[in-house]
Homo-oligomer: A and B are copies of this chain.
Amino acid sequence: MPVQWAGLAPPLLVDLRRDGGQPLRAQLERGLRDAIRSGRLPVGERLPSSRELARQLGLSRGLVQECYGQLTAEGYLTGVVGSGTRVAAGTAAVAPPEPAPTTPATPAPRIDFASGVPDLSAFPREDWVWALREACRSVAVADLDYGDPRGDPRLREVLAGYTGRVRAAVTDRDRVVVCSGFAQGAALALQTLARAGYDRIALENPGNGDPAQSVSSRAALRIGRSLHHVPVDEEGLDVDALAASGARVVVVTPAHQSPTGVVLSAERRHALVAWARDTDGFVIEDDYDSEFRYDRDPVGVLQGLAPERVFTIGTVSKSLAPTIRVGWVLTPPAFADALAEEKRLADRGTPGLDQVALALLVESGRFDRHLRRMRARYARRRAALVDALARHAPAVALTGLAAGFHAVAHLPRGVDEQHVVAEAARRGVGLYGMSAFRVDGATTPAQLVLGFGNLSDHAVAEGIATVADLLAP
């Protein structure tokens, strides 16, 4: 409903408050802007002279003039000599955006066996605050600028040492590119390879599930010319099937396959490296939770066998927490510069203080100490899961337990995966069927992917007890 200045008192329009909360000029500006945007002051409407408006509102004329000047510069008003100040064309009826519809949230499960989430309650807050404070205080002034897009040189040095020491990687500072976690690292590597002509991409199956949903699959679909899904068996990726697919790039999880938990066998490691060398192919190694291995030392990265053919991506998403967005790519020498350029184009580099903080955490020994603590904690929790299943659901076999913090429960014959998941949800327990990780969504063989990272030992036991009857043959 347009306002008639002649008929409506301006105070009704702009509603100035004189309680000192906000400067009057800011209030007047906002009031006029809102009136124009809402269409209450229509295009072409002539405003009172600054003298007149000042009188009506009890303001100084200078203040009103400043305000008119500001709104004219911003394009809301237009001043024509002899014609006064009018509402400018093209400003009308900018409705404030509708609030987005809120989808009714499904209640979160009371006990959630979601995989891929570490124990968030064990995030070393005090260590991280210490490292950030040290980083903030010690960083050179010049290092507050945009830095090397590959990342902070000190962190790259530390990561080259760490991945060499703990993961048996072969790299050096100049082949490490710091990124913001696996999703970005994979996108950078895939993009780098695609631009070099390697654009037929293979993913593991089971793996990310529906290609239309998962981050990795969607990124691969966009970047690649073709997307292939290669089966995983009890030795890991089926390399013969990979070779038959025609793909030139494959994303794999050798240390602890996601989600089956299988460790890529020595034979398959050789076959995969031979495939890469023979077909001029490349491997993107997702080394996401390898720090946590229970039966012996973590198996070294595949990259150590063929550093010229393997991009290895590591992250602190599992070892610290996903909210710390720091990861790294160990890059084959021939692609180090190209991948650094992809990083520069993506975001000009990962936050600098987080990088220095991580370097300090590793150098100080706090990172290793945290990992040792977490390994012991996850080992206890893993034992709690094994015990609970043995006690309450002895017909369920458990595999994939060598590393990480998820395992696969094989449901007895005749038990329907979808029914178990749905009924467990009704009881407040979050269970996830293997079907969600299969490309075709197949519900057989009936399996559950049980994440136990972010549950207390007690919750693991209680959760299994709560759904035990559903898991019986």
Residues of B contacting A362 in the complex (Cβ-Cβ under 8 angstroms): none
Interface status of A161 (Cβ within 8 A of chain B): no
* Interface residue range, chain A: 35 or more
Shortest CB–CB separation between residue A405 and chain B, in angstroms? Answer: 14
Interface status of A305 (Cβ within 8 A of chain B): yes
Cβ contact within 8 Å between B37 and A323 = no
CB contacts under 8 Å to B, within A157-201, are: 168, 170-172, 174-175, 179-181, 183-184, 187
Residues of B contacting A88 in the complex (Cβ-Cβ under 8 angstroms): 266, 270
Q: A269 to B90: give the CA distance in the assembly, Å.
A: 10
Further contacts, 18 of them, CB under 8 A, given A78-B266, A120-B141, A215-B345: A69-B296, A70-B299, A75-B270, A75-B302, A75-B305, A78-B270, A90-B306, A97-B171, A97-B172, A132-B132, A144-B321, A144-B323, A147-B323, A180-B348, A181-B347, A183-B347, A323-B353, A354-B354
Residues of B contacting A300 in the complex (Cβ-Cβ under 8 angstroms): 33, 70, 74
Cβ contact within 8 Å between B323 and A143 = yes
Interface status of A145 (Cβ within 8 A of chain B): yes
Interface status of A99 (Cβ within 8 A of chain B): yes
26 A-B residue pairings within 8 Å (CB atoms): A33-B168, A74-B269, A74-B304, A75-B305, A78-B270, A90-B274, A90-B305, A90-B306, A94-B306, A94-B308, A97-B170, A99-B172, A99-B174, A120-B145, A129-B133, A129-B136, A139-B323, A143-B323, A146-B317, A181-B348, A187-B346, A215-B345, A219-B345, A325-B349, A346-B346, A347-B347
Cβ contact within 8 Å between B120 and A144 = yes
Other-chain contact of A183, B128, B263, B345 (Cβ < 8 Å): B345
Shortest CB–CB separation between residue A418 and chain B, in angstroms? Answer: 26
Residues of B contacting A321 in the complex (Cβ-Cβ under 8 angstroms): 144-145
CB contacts under 8 Å to B, within A121-135, are: 121, 123, 125, 128-129, 132-133
Q: Most chain-B CB neighbours within 10 Å: which of A144, A263, A273? A: A144
Q: Most chain-B CB neighbours within 10 Å: which of A137, A333, A353, A454? A: A353
Residue on B nearest A142 in the bound complex, by CB? B120
Other-chain contact of A129, B74, B137, B142 (Cβ < 8 Å): B137
Residues of B contacting A19 in the complex (Cβ-Cβ under 8 angstroms): none
Residue on B nearest A108 in the bound complex, by CB? B142
Task: Decide: A170 near B96, CB < 8 A? Known: A299-B73, A347-B347.
Answer: yes
Other-chain contact of A128, B136, B263, B307, B333 (Cβ < 8 Å): B136
CB contacts under 8 Å to B, within A1-59, are: 29-30, 33, 37
Interface status of A469 (Cβ within 8 A of chain B): no
